[in-house]
Structures are given as C-alpha cells and as structure tokens.
Amino acid sequence: MADIRPERVLSDLRTLAQFGAYKSGVHRPTLSEPDIAARRWFAGRLCAAGLDASIDGIANILGKSPAPGRKVLAGSHLESQNYAGWLDGPLGCVYALEAARAIAEDHATRHLGVDVAVFCDEEAHFGSFLGSRSFIGLVEESAIDGAVNPATGMSMREALKVPGWSGRPRFMIDPTRYAAFFEAHIEQGDALESLGLKIGVVTAIVAIWQYRLTVTGEQNHAGTTSMARRRDAGRELVRLLAAIDARFPAICGPRTVWTTGRIDLDPGAKSIIPGRAEALFQLRDADPAVLDRLDRELNALVERAHAQGVCQLALERISASTPALMDERLQAALAHAAEARAPGKHTRLPSGAGHDAQWLARKLPAAMMFVPSIGGISHHWTENTSDADIALGAQVFTDAIVDVLQG
Amino acid sequence: MADIRPERVLSDLRTLAQFGAYKSGVHRPTLSEPDIAARRWFAGRLCAAGLDASIDGIANILGKSPAPGRKVLAGSHLESQNYAGWLDGPLGCVYALEAARAIAEDHATRHLGVDVAVFCDEEAHFGSFLGSRSFIGLVEESAIDGAVNPATGMSMREALKVPGWSGRPRFMIDPTRYAAFFEAHIEQGDALESLGLKIGVVTAIVAIWQYRLTVTGEQNHAGTTSMARRRDAGRELVRLLAAIDARFPAICGPRTVWTTGRIDLDPGAKSIIPGRAEALFQLRDADPAVLDRLDRELNALVERAHAQGVCQLALERISASTPALMDERLQAALAHAAEARAPGKHTRLPSGAGHDAQWLARKLPAAMMFVPSIGGISHHWTENTSDADIALGAQVFTDAIVDVLQG
C-alpha cells in the first residue's frame, strides 16, 4: 500500500521552513543564501532516500530512481515569493520525496520508480518558469546570461556562481523514461475549504490573457477646462473599466477571473486633466471558448467607447497562453485515490495560478493535485494547511502514483 | 482718454517671449537664467516708463508711480510653466505697464498713479504663490529657506543668490497706498471664444477642494482568488469614481469642474489583486453652496460603498480654499469699459484657475479681466490670443483703471 509517514512529511516541511524563516512563513528568493542551503539540504534528503540526486547548471535538482522500467516524475519548486508562505512549492517537493520513499519502502511497490524534480525559479525572481522550461529544452544559454533579479540587481549567472553551479550541464527531460508527471500544490484559493473538501484534482491550468488598455485624450488645466470640453483620458478609462465590470459577470464562465492590476494617469498631478491613461487588464480561464467570448466583448466595449469620439481607446493583447490540460487518466487516478482515502471529499477544478506542470504537460501526461489552503491565503507568510490535510494529501498523491505505475 | 499703443504692447510681449523661447511658446521656470533676464529687462521697462522700479528678496518686482494720491496696483507674473505659452502671466504684466504708460502720457490722466507688480513664482516651481503671498505678509523667511524646485533640486535661496537678490528686504503691501488691485490674464478656457466674446470680467476665483480617496481591500493572487471572494481595492475605486461621474452632473453648478488627477493601485502588478487603491480627486466652484452640496454627495457615495463591506473606503479632504470674490465696483468698471470698447462682447464669469489676485483680494478690492484664449489652450506652447484681442484688452484694462482712479 506504500503508506506514507506523516511525521516525516511534516518534519521535512518544517525543516525546509527554517531556511529563510520569516514569521510563520519564509523569505527565500531564488538562489539567495537560504535558497542555496535549502537546495543542498533537499538534494541530501533525496540521496538519503536512495535516489541519485544532483543539481544542474540552472539550479534544478533531479533525484533519479534506481528502479527499472518507466517511472513517474514528480516535484515542484523550493524557492518562495518574498516574505511568503512555507508550503507554496515545498509541499509538492516533499510529497514527491515522500512518494519515492514510501514506494521504495514497501515490498509490494519497491520495484516502481519515482524520480523527484525541483524546478528552479518558478516564483520568477529571475525570469518566467526558467527551471521547468529549461528541463523541457526551452531555455537557451543566452536567456540565462540575460536573466537578472530586478530586486537585487544580481544576474542569474553571478547567483549561480556562488554555490558553484554555473557552467554545469543542465538536465533535459527524457520523455521515454517517464509515464507521467505529478505535481502537488496548495490550492492558494478557498474553493476546497469553502466546500469542506480535502483534495482537488486539477483539470487544467488556466490560460492567462494579458491586455494593455490605452486611452489618449487631451491634457489640460483642471480649473479652466469645462466638463463639456474635456477629453479626460482618466475618466474614459474609469468608465470603460466600470463597464467591463458590469458586463462580464453575465457572460463569464463559473471560474473566470479578471483583474486590473495597474492604472496610470499621465501626468498624474492633482490639477491636470490626464491626457493619457493606461491599465493592465488580465483574464484567466481554462476554457478557450470563454476566453474568446470575453475577448470579443472586451474589444466591443473598447470600440464603443472609442466610437464616442471623446478619447482614442486602444486595446493591445500583450500575451495569450493556452490552457494546459491535465491528463484524463491521471485525473482519474487522483480522484480514485482521493475517494478511497477521503470519500466524497474531493472535486475537480482548474488551477487559476500557473505551475511548472503546465510546461511538463508539453512533454508528458501531467497531473496536479491540490490540498486546502486555510482561508484561501497564499503569497503571504500566514499561508497554511492543517497537518491532517497535509498528511492526507501525501497519501493520496502516493496512491495515485502507485496506481499509474502499476498501469 | 489714455489711449494705449497696441504696437508697444505687442512688441513688449514679443520681446518677453524671447527669454526662454520654446517653439512658439516659452520655457521660463522661476529664477532660471531666462527668467532672471526677463525680470531685469522688465524692471528696465518700468524705469523707462518713469516708475521707480526694483526687485526684492523674493524676486518680486515693484514699479512705483511718482503720481500723488491713491494709486491702483496692477500686475501678474512673468515666469512660465514648463514648455508653456507666452501670454500666461506676461500679458497681465505688460497690460499693467501699458496702463501706467498710457495714463502717464495723457494730459488728462497723468496725475493718476499706477504701480506695477510682478509676483514671483505664481507657477509654483518653488512653492505656492510665494510672490503674492510674500507681498501680503504671509511668507516667513523660513518658508523661503525650505523652498526647493523639485525639478532641479535647487533651493530658492541658491536660486536667488545667482542674480544677487537673496537677502534683500521684501516688499510688503501698504494698503493705504492703493484704491484697488487689477490683474489681467488670458482666460485659459474657451468660454469667451465659444461665445464670440472679447472680454471676461471675473466674478470670483474658484475655491479648490482637494480630496484623497483611499480604498483598502485585500491583496491577493489574481489567479486563485475567485471573483466572489475578492476584496479588490482597485475595482471598488473604479466603481466609486464611475458613480461620482454619473451622479455629479445632476447636482453640480453650471461651471463646476471635478478631476481625478491621479490613481494608484498597490502593488500595481499585473497578476496581483490590488490591496490598496488611492485617488486624488478635486472639485472647483465659485459658489460655496455648490461645493457644500457636492461634498455631501461625495461623502454619501463613499459611505454607501464602504457600507457594502467589501472594502474600507475613506475620504480625506486635504485642502479647501474659499472662493476669492472680486470687488463689485471694480467689476462694474471693467464691464463699463468693455461695453464702451466692444459693445455686447463681454461677460462675467468665474476664474477656474488660481491667480495672484486671490491673495491680493485679502488686502485690497481686487479685479481680474480675461481676454480670449484661442481654442481654450493654455499651459502648452501653442497657447495664443489674437493681436486684435490683445490690443482691445489692454485698452479696456486701462480704461477701467482710469475709471477707478477718477473715483
């Protein structure tokens, strides 16, 4: 049955939380001193578990199982957001380690192999998913040369030199070695908690469509320009954003989210009518049809405001990813394992956040499993999951991997 | 009749426009090299007109008439906004100079005295109306010590040392010397032009009520936080601003203006739900009853949004000036002069912008006269007024001063 050992899972997580401890969370940016120490410690734990572990030229860690046959690759990331939680990333790494250990410790399953991967910089201190993208062959050396942490000004090359990892070869995926990729993660939202559920089986990692809205009006004196004569770019932008917010609920999907993360009025002074206004607007959904519908409506709203002639409005789609669909067979294995360990306490749901699994899904059948986040809080030092939920999740994760490996 | 000489008015204005010329406008910040040169040149013109002219310890210029009896004080400012127009300020200075000259040149009026004042830094490169406030006794030496031009980092003390004006005594108004203060200015709006009028008689300089709107929500992940669970400070701010914009037209006065000059979302990143949002919001009107009504509605809208409980909203009134009322007798003199020179082509209107006259009005009966701005444009190098309108304005301005001096 490959029983996991809850106290070992919790102990490993708590040890990891000491690297860069901050209040009840961690501050462990990619390749910071505590991050380097955490990577070294984790590689040691992989070795202790009987895996052949090493760290590559982009600080990815790979622990390779000596077992014969096709293996499962499992893992996540170790670095944290700034002053953030202890579980975002480490939970998936320790679950993968525990699955490898539990499977190796059980006579019935010890012939099955689990490789453990830790992908560097999922949290984007230097770039965008550099570790997982490197692993599937999408990162050139020149991209590493150009990667800089904007918070510290340090280049990734310099940072990799500190522990002596710069110049090492980088691991590249061998898809023939693996039957599947599994990643566990905290939900980071409150869907599971609010429904009283314990396990989330991810159906897809949402696509993110990122837009820039630009409004051009006429900068003018805020005292001498009558309301009728104004071409106030800020006012037009506010009207448009309010119109989007009023319209979208009627046509969005059940889990669509949209966010205006930034607004800039130019020149941004109290007594000057803004001549220019800009907003960053983002849509996320796992369903391409929903995204298309909202994109069409967004364009229509912008065109309507533009046609009124007060200001010029422009909508630029800066980026548009496609949803990363999780493998149906693997979802079934996770749901089956969840049903056995926590009957009725699981659901399928999309992931609103990006994860390394979205890149691995390009090369392997991929799956993601969520455990509840208390209060839905993440990217904050108060992020937490109950010990019982952590233990249950580790067992369901391991069970599903065994199921897939036993094919 | 004290006839002004149009070619002399235009020639002086064109000469001034050469100090810091920029395209068809000027770039002449307070105490910049061209501003110092312009002040010296203008003081020379005052001397040439028979006035006893000098520059004081805050770069104000005062040209005193040798005529006996109560005099009129007239003037405006010489420095410009950055890369702005040639008439904003200089027009009023040259009108005052021309009034002094024309009145002194006419046998019938040469016993009447006009003092000419140029107030430093009306355009707020170092502070807020430092020159006119100094002249009425509201500026301590410590305020000058602390004044810094944020664009250059230069202190006002340093800047005053360059021409050798630092440490000079500062002129203080002697209210017993004057019957009235007159300031002429370009309208900076398009009310006169759009009505086909030539002269505006200012009834009041509007009050400015400046607010800070603060919305506190919960910063969260833009992918994992459902729309229902969000406490998006940016979205609440946009809704409130849209509600203000929808409501105010029904309850404002005919010339009320309101402006959102700045919006900040915190942290301002594309994938983070803003936990905090702030806006600078401004109201201007000459009628205290209108301002009170809009202030009450603004408070009510903020309270209503706050009561919905999604975010905390707070409204802070940062400053609230009172309208500066122009003297009725002086308004009548301007209207009478305008009617004589341009029958039916004048109107009374408030000034939406602040002017030195609002400070002088605390010590003297004060009046302001506007001439049309082509296209309503100001604070831009394309700012302009036709030569004919400039000439007509100078005559009406002089006629009104004669009227008042003849009592």
pLDDT digits (tens, 9 = 90+) for B357-395: 999 999 999 999 999 999 998 889 999 999 999 999 999
CA distance A180 to A365: 5
- Counting as low any pLDDT under 50, the low residues of chain A are none
What's the average model confidence in pLDDT over B107-122? 98
Contacts of B260 in chain A (CB under 8 A): 234-235, 238, 265, 274
CA distance A281 to A289: 19
CB contact under 8 A, B259 and A273: yes
Is B125's pLDDT higher than 80? yes
Q: What pLDDT score was predicted for residue A407? A: 85
Contacts of B354 in chain A (CB under 8 A): 223
Q: Which residue of B188, B245, B269 is in closest CB contact with A235?
A: B245
CB contact under 8 A, B261 and A270: yes
Domain-wise residue ranges, chain A = 6-206+323-405, 208-320
Q: What pLDDT score was predicted for residue B383? A: 95
Q: What pLDDT score was predicted for residue B213? A: 98
Average pLDDT over chain B, rounded to whole? 97
**How does pLDDT run across B127-158, given as a tens digit for each residue?**
999 999 999 999 999 999 999 999 999 999 99
* Amino acid at site B38: A
Dihedral of CA atoms A282, A285, A288, A291 in degrees, nearest 10, equals: -40
Spell A184-221 as b/e; 16+ CB within 10 A means b.
bbbbbbbbbbeeebbbbbbbbbbbbbbbebbbbbbbbb
End-to-end Cα, chain A, rounded Å: 15
Judge contact between B127 and B107, C-beta under 8 A: no
Indicate the CATH number for domain A208-320. 3.30.70.360
Dmax (CA) for chain A in angstroms is 84
Decide if B6-206+323-405 and B208-320 have a common fold: no
CATH fold for domain B6-206+323-405? Aminopeptidase (3.40.630)
Torsions phi, psi for B325 (to 5 deg): -80, 135
| Residue B407 pLDDT class (50, 70, 90 cuts) | confident
C-alpha Rg value of chain B to the nearest Å: 24
Contacts of A270 in chain B (CB under 8 A): 210, 259, 261-262, 280, 282
Rounded to a whole number of angstroms, the distance from the CA of A396 to the nearest CA of chain B is 22
| Token duo for residue A141 | 């050396």
Predicted TM-score (pTM) above 0.80? yes
Judge contact between A291 and A210, C-beta under 8 A: no
Q: What pLDDT score was predicted for residue B379? A: 86
Rounded to a whole number of angstroms, the distance from the CA of A207 to the nearest CA of chain B is 10
Judge contact between A190 and A375, C-beta under 8 A: yes
CB contact under 8 A, A260 and B234: yes
Percentage of chain B lying above the pLDDT 70 cut: 100
Contacts of B270 in chain A (CB under 8 A): 210, 259, 261-262, 280, 282
Rounded to the nearest angstrom, the gap between the alpha carbon of residue A146 and the centroid of all alpha carbons in its chain is 23
Is B95's pLDDT higher than 90? yes
List A221's β-bridge partners, or say none. Answer: A272
CA distance B33 to A68: 83
Contacts of B272 in chain A (CB under 8 A): 259, 261, 379
What's the average model confidence in pLDDT over B195-216? 98
Contacts of B239 in chain A (CB under 8 A): 242, 245
CB contact under 8 A, A259 and B269: no
Q: What is the DSSP string of A43-110?
A: HHHHHHTT-EEEE-TTS-EEEE----S-EEEEEE-----TTB-SSTTHHHHHHHHHHHHHHHHSTTTT
Question: What does DSSP assign to residue B181?
Answer: E
Secondary structure (3-state) at B401:
helix
| Token duo for residue B283 | 């109201």
**How does pLDDT run across B305-351, given as a tens digit for each residue?**
999 999 999 999 999 999 999 999 999 999 999 999 999 999 999 99
Judge contact between B162 and B31, C-beta under 8 A: yes
CB contact under 8 A, A257 and B227: yes
List B183's β-bridge partners, or say none. Answer: B368
Q: What pLDDT score was predicted for residue A96? A: 98
Q: Spell out the residues 6+ positions from residue B384 whose beta carbon is closer than 8 angstroms to its own.
A: B24, B85, B86, B87, B373, B374, B377
| Token duo for residue B103 | 């009145």
| Token duo for residue A252 | 């969005």
